[in-house]
């Protein structure tokens, strides 16, 4: 619901679209594809490339 930093460095509304590391644009409310290839509910928890688990509703840091 807040903001996330995409791999391009752009800050976009999490409720809108997020750019995964594969370049696919997926609805943040639907499913996000982590760098491990796992599909996790965007509303639950996302695994960043650093291995940190952060609430998707808060902030998540991409590969940058």
Q: What DSSP designation does 16 have? A: S
Reported as a single tens digit per residue, the pLDDT across 26-61 is 444 344 444 444 444 444 444 444 444 445 444 455
Does 19 fall in a domain?
Answer: yes
The parent domain of residue 26 ranges over 3-55
Instruction: Find out whether 45 and 54 touch, Cβ atoms under 8 Å.
Output: yes
Contacts of 11-20 with C-beta under 8 Å, sequence gap 24+, read 14/42, 14/56, 14/57, 18/42
Does 17 fall in a domain?
Answer: yes
| 4 — pLDDT class (breaks 50, 70, 90) | low
Query: So what's the pLDDT on residue 7?
Result: 52
pTM of the predicted structure, to 2 decimals: 0.12
Does 46 fall in a domain?
Answer: yes
């Amino acid at each position: 619901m807040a903001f996330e930093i995409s791999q391009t460095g752009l800050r976009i509304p999490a409720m809108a679209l997020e750019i995964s590391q594969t370049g696919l644009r997926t609805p943040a409310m639907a499913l996000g594809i982590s760098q491990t290839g796992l599909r996790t509910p965007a509303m639950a928890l996302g695994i960043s490339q650093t291995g940190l688990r952060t609430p998707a509703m808060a902030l998540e840091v991409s590969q940058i």
